[in-house]
């Protein structure tokens, strides 16, 4: 795409429209658009093409979001949360910024891996719903479509997570829920404060089944 990345955000209205237009959005707040931290930020933006990056040097915008200059902020819709990375007095480079974004980019449905696991654990949402399934299955796209539609209904309440049962790094999670490969796909819901959880094996995902399962557990 030929669009300039990051997008310059010169006023509060532009910044708010930018943030509300994506599941995950990142803004770099800088005093000097040509400073060394800002150039590292541009480098990061190029590395993560699927996440929109904005840049602002407007004092009004900085004040609106309550940040100081040289701050990178990630906004996410799934739990209406934000994460700030302060770049003052620190050797924050594109490497660290990329990790910061990857760790915190929780989505409507977040795919679980060793990096997103950190963000998942730090989320303010206390309920996690995992779809434990084989991503290579021909039924996967349709399952994901229905799982995603269900996630819309519980936005701000439950974090929806996709766990690929093919990944070796996920075997521990599958065995934590005492599931065998032959029992998959399955839904597992988890209450983080007390480790309370429930599991349901599902061949077909439907919005009704997901809703019932979640509502029963929450009650």
Task: Check: CB of residue 205 under 8 Å from CB of residue 146.
Answer: yes
Q: Can you tell me the mean pLDDT for 180-202? A: 94
Quick: pLDDT tens for 123-179.
999 999 999 999 999 999 999 999 999 999 999 999 999 999 999 999 999 999 999
Quick: pLDDT tens for 9-47.
999 999 999 999 999 999 999 999 999 999 999 999 999
**pLDDT for 3:** 54
- Per-residue pLDDT band at 4 (split at 50, 70, 90): low
Burial of 149 (0-12, 13-18, 19+ CB in 10 A): middle
Quick: pLDDT tens for 171-187.
999 999 999 999 999 99
- Per-residue pLDDT band at 1 (split at 50, 70, 90): very low
Q: What is the CATH number of domain 7-104?
A: 3.40.30.10
Integer Cα distance of 13 and 158 in angstroms: 30
Task: From the options 3.30.2000.20, 3.30.420.40, 3.40.30.10, 3.40.47.10, give the CATH code of 109-218.
Answer: 3.40.30.10
The three state secondary structure string of 120-140 is HHHCCCCEEEEEEECCCCCCH
The residue with tokens 């009004």 is 60
**pLDDT for 20:** 95
Integer Cα distance of 204 and 14 in angstroms: 42
Which residue intervals of the chain bear CATH 3.40.30.10?
7-104, 109-218
């Amino acid at each position: 795409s030929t669009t300039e990345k990051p997008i310059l955000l010169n006023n509060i209205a532009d910044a708010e429209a930018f943030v509300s237009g994506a599941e995950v959005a990142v803004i770099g707040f800088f005093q000097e658009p040509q400073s060394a931290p800002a150039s590292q930020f541009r480098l990061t933006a190029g590395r993560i093409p699927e996440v929109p990056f904005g840049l602002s040097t407007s004092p009004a915008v900085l004040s609106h979001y309550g940040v100081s200059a040289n701050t990178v902020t990630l906004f996410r819709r799934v739990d209406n949360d934000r994460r700030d990375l302060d770049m003052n007095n620190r050797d924050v480079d594109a490497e660290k910024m990329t990790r910061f974004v990857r760790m915190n980019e929780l989505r409507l449905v977040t795919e679980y891996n060793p990096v997103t696991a950190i963000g998942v654990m730090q989320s303010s949402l206390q309920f996690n719903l995992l779809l434990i399934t084989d991503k290579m299955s021909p039924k996967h796209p349709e399952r994901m479509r229905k799982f995603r539609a269900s996630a819309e209904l519980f936005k701000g309440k439950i974090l929806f997570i996709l766990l690929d049962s093919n990944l070796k790094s996920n075997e521990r999670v599958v065995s934590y829920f005492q599931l065998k490969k032959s029992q998959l796909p399955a839904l597992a819901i988890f209450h983080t404060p007390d480790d309370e959880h429930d599991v349901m094996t599902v061949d077909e995902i439907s919005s009704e089944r997901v809703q019932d399962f979640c509502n029963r557990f929450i009650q």
